[in-house]
């Protein structure tokens, strides 16, 4: 048939729309001479059917809270999503994701700029950058794990907000994924937890095309995916041909009718479908087809071979009649329902609105604990647990948990009514992720994308397992709260496998990630005050296992100085300091001990607590110079971690007391002696840098 012929039948309009997705994807990849054309060509019928027949999504309001979520986990197939966003004429949203604009999310010109500098069509979909993209995907497995978080969030939101006659939240979550997603371990972690929680509103559509970058999946992947997912507790459907939209609809109907488990739909497809020399080849996965092959594929589709970025007559209208009409009606009905809800449940409606804006309820920090000076003190993990419970009681949508470690990380919510989030009851706010650190972090991203404020916790050493998702928290500007305990060689007898040495600098290096390592219980309070007010930055709170003295704030500076990242906690007596001592966390008390000795010896020394390099670097030059005067070059830093990075503060004339090796298995006092974290060592270092 002619690609532009008017008056075609409904089935032909469907095929015309499907082929438009295919050809737009091919043309964009070819124009960039970079990208992944094969998967959009194969999955166009699947994605079109889902969007056109099932997805409850209003293109005129892509941030409608009860919209179905669509996640393209195999993000290399980004042109599949970009084509859909353009053809459905999804409207743009402001960068804060709070206001719908009059412009379109993606124009034809945007598609033509695929993978080009400052375009809205990057190589992999990016949340915020491209309106309509629900989450940043690219690293395989992250998207499907995010989708589990979205489905868990949906369960909690429904339990909190839904009332008789008012069903504010009943959305479904769909994710398209590929062989790479299935091979990554995070997908198994996430799928296992989804099955355990019986997340029946979650559907993964698995593109089973047997091709990866190196070649056929038989090189390294031969498991029975269907049996694996049945073992996880999923319903599994199979569609033997990606072009068979009728079979796909039947599978999607089964998903909608399933109420006790998530659904996996395995779709057999041919990567690069329609390209005579590239179909079913690894080249179709990650290379532009070439002009000649593009023309041959278009000929196969019945498409004008010389047309580029063609959207035939009737295609835009077809999307308007499908997803546009259905989504608009569903959204309008929801808005009408919410107006009545506001009258009947005004307090809940106000909670809802605050959540959407990432605002906090009035009095969110009332009843904070107080921690008087105490030489014995307590571990910062313990003081954090007390503060967290007070805040969570005041902020109903703050929830989270640990990777099987809450007795150690002290992140259990213990106040009356906190409850457990589980399959039988979605209202609980204590989440149990099991020993699945990677999935925990990615699921937390999905929950925060759904506007729930989420915390995730484990030992600091296990950030190695969380790092990919933490990095994406920062890229997406999601205020996920990461609570990591057992922060140094203070772990003691557990030895070097559990003593984080390089982890502080590794996370400090992540742009947009706020890391705080408080020195005592009162700095913990101030750290939580800072963290809770964040709207775009993820935060890492690094806490001790061992008890730390609660610093006497009548003698030393108030802990509120933490809000500026670094502050003078003890000033040199009698004038300008001869030297500056700097530390974070547990080492601040060590520096204060050295300070007392040095002061008694007539040496003028200043102690600076530096709980957050990131916050400090965002202060004015005037403030930074007031804390660390450039003319005072005799400086010593103390931190039970890698010395990397401290040179920026210590300078060429200073000295760094830190870890140059991994730790060891021994009681803490023995480790401190072995590695030089003792007051006399700090005193000696100060004397050395000032030449006394």
In tens, the pLDDT along 15-50 reads: 999 999 999 999 999 999 999 999 999 999 999 999
Please tell me the predicted confidence (pLDDT) of residue 480. Answer: 98
Main-chain dihedrals φ then ψ at residue 256, nearest 5 degrees: -65, -30
Share of the chain above pLDDT 90, in %: 97
pLDDT-derived band at 4, boundaries 50, 70, 90? very low
* CA-based end-to-end distance of the chain: 91
Please tell me the distance from the alpha carbon of residue 27 to that of residue 124, in angstroms, as a whole number: 17
Of the residues 126, 287, 437, 537, only one is catalytic, namely 437
pLDDT band at 590 (very low <50, low <70, confident <90, very high): very high
Question: How far apart are the C-alpha atoms of 434 and 585, rounded to whole Å?
Answer: 28
- pLDDT band at 8; cut points 50, 70, 90: low
Residue 54 gets which letter from DSSP?
Answer: I
Look at 336 and 6; give whichever has higher pLDDT.
Answer: 336
Query: Distance of CA 563 to CAs 313, 489, 620, Å?
Result: 58, 27, 13
Asked whether residue 323 carries a pLDDT value surpassing 50, the answer given is yes
Mean pLDDT over 77-86 rounds to: 98
- pLDDT of 416 over the 90 cut: yes
- For the segment 210-249, what is each residue's pLDDT rounded down to a tens digit? 999 999 999 999 999 999 999 999 999 999 999 999 999 9
pLDDT band for 97, please (50, 70, 90 cuts). confident
Distance of alpha carbon 28 from alpha carbon 71, whole angstroms? 21
Q: Give the distance between the most distant pair of CA atoms in the chain.
A: 95
* pLDDT number for residue 5: 44
The pLDDT assigned to 3 comes to 45
What's residue 9's pLDDT?
73
| pLDDT tens string 597-642 | 999 999 999 999 999 999 999 999 999 999 999 999 999 999 999 9
Check pLDDT > 50 for residue 149.
Answer: yes
Q: Is the pLDDT of residue 86 over 80?
A: yes
For residue 401, the cross-strand partners are: 431, 456
User: Phi-psi bin for 314: left (phi > 0), alpha (psi -120 to 50), beta?
Assistant: left
For residue 61, what are its two tokens?
């309001």
Structure confidence at residue 250 (pLDDT): 98
Q: How many CB atoms sit inside 10 A of residue 429's CB?
A: 23
Alpha-carbon distance of 3 to 24, in angstroms, equals: 13
Q: Is the pLDDT of residue 488 over 50?
A: yes
Whole-angstrom distance, CA of residue 487 vs CA of residue 546: 9
Q: How far apart (Å, rounded) are the C-alpha atoms in residues 109 and 291?
A: 20
Has residue 144 got a pLDDT over 90?
A: yes
Alpha carbon distance 229, 241 (integer Å):
20
pLDDT for the residue 96? 81
Residues in the chain: 692
pLDDT, tens digit, 9 for 90 and up, residues 258-269:
999 999 999 999
**What per-residue confidence (pLDDT) applies to 98?**
84
User: Is 437 one of the annotated active-site residues of the chain?
Assistant: yes
Percent of the chain whose predicted confidence (pLDDT) is above 70: 99
* pLDDT at site 504: 98
Q: What is the pTM of this model?
A: 0.97
Residue 533 has pLDDT above 90, yes or no: yes
- Burial category of 155 from C-beta neighbours within 10 Å (exposed 0-12, middle 13-18, buried 19 and up): buried
Across 344-364, b (16+ Cβ under 10 Å) vs e yields ebeebbebbebbeebebeeeb
For residue 2, pLDDT beyond 60: no
- CA dihedral (621, 622, 628, 632) positive or negative: positive
């Amino acid at each position: 048939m002619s690609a532009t012929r008017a008056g075609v039948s409904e089935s032909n309009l469907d095929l015309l729309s499907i082929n438009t997705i295919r050809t737009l994807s091919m043309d964009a990849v070819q124009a960039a001479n970079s990208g992944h054309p094969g998967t959009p060509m194969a999955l166009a019928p699947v994605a079109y059917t889902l969007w056109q027949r099932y997805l409850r999504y209003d293109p005129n309001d892509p941030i409608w809270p009860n919209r179905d979520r669509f996640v393209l986990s195999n993000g290399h197939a980004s042109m599949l999503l970009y084509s859909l966003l353009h053809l459905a004429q999804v409207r743009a949203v402001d960068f804060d994701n709070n206001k719908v604009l009059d412009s379109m999310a993606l124009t034809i010109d945007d598609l033509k700029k695929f993978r080009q500098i400052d375009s809205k069509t990057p190589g992999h979909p990016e949340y915020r950058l491209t309106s309509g993209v629900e989450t940043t995907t690219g690293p395989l497995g992250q998207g499907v794990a995010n989708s589990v978080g979205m489905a868990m969030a949906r369960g909690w939101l429904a339990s909190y907000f839904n009332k008789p006659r008012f069903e504010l939240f009943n959305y479904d979550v769909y994710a398209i994924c590929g062989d790479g997603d299935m091979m990554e371990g995070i997908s198994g972690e996430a799928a296992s937890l989804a099955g355990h929680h019986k997340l029946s509103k979650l559907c993964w559509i698995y593109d089973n095309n047997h091709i990866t970058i190196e070649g056929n999946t038989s090189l390294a992947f031969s498991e029975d995916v269907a049996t694996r997912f049945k073992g996880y507790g999923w319903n599994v459907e199979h569609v033997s041909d990606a072009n068979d939209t009728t079979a796909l609809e039947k599978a999607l109907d089964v998903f909608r009718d399933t109420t006790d488990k998530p659904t996996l739909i395995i779709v057999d497809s041919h990567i690069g479908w329609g390209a005579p020399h590239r179909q079913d080849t690894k080249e179709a996965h990650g290379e532009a087809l070439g002009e000649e092959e593009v023309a041959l594929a278009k000929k196969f589709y019945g498409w004008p071979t010389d047309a580029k970025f063609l959207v035939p007559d009737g295609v835009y209208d077809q999307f308007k009649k499908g997803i546009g009409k259905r989504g608009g009606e569903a959204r309008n009905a929801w808005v009408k329902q919410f107006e009545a809800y506001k009258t009947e449940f005004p307090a809940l409606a106000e909670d809802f609105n605050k959540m959407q804006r990432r605002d906090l309820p009035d009095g969110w920090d009332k009843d904070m604990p107080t921690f008087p000076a105490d030489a014995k003190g307590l571990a910062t993990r313990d003081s954090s647990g007390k503060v967290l419970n007070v805040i969570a009681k005041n902020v109903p949508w703050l929830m989270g948990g640990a990777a099987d470690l809450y007795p150690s990380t002290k992140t259990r919510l213990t106040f009356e009514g906190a409850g457990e989030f589980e399959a039988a009851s979605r209202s609980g706010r204590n989440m149990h992720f099991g020993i699945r650190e990677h999935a925990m972090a990615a699921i937390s991203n999905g929950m925060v994308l759904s506007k729930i404020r989420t915390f995730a916790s484990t030992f600091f050493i296990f950030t190695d397992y969380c790092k990919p998702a933490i990095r994406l928290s920062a890229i997406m500007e999601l205020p996920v709260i990461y609570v990591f305990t057992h922060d140094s060689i203070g772990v003691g007898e557990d030895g070097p496998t559990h003593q984080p040495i390089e982890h502080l600098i590794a996370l400090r290096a992540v742009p947009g990630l706020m890391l705080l390592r408080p020195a005592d219980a009162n700095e913990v309070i101030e750290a939580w005050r800072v963290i809770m007010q964040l709207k775009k930055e993820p935060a890492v709170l690094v806490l001790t296992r061992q008890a730390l003295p609660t610093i006497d704030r009548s003698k030393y500076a108030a802990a509120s100085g933490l809000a500026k990242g670094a502050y003078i906690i003890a000033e040199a007596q009698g004038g300008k300091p001869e030297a500056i001592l700097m530390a974070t966390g547990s080492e601040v008390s060590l520096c204060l001990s050295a300070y007392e000795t040095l002061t008694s010896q007539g040496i003028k020394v200043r102690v600076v607590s530096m709980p957050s390099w990131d916050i400090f670097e965002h202060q004015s030059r005037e403030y930074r110079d007031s804390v660390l005067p450039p003319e005072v070059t005799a400086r010593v830093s103390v931190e039970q971690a890698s010395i990397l990075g401290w040179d920026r503060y210590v300078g060429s004339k200073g000295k760094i007391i830190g870890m140059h090796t991994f730790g060891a298995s021994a009681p803490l006092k023995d480790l401190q002696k072995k590695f030089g974290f003792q007051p006399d060592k700090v005193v000696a270092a100060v004397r050395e840098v000032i030449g006394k």
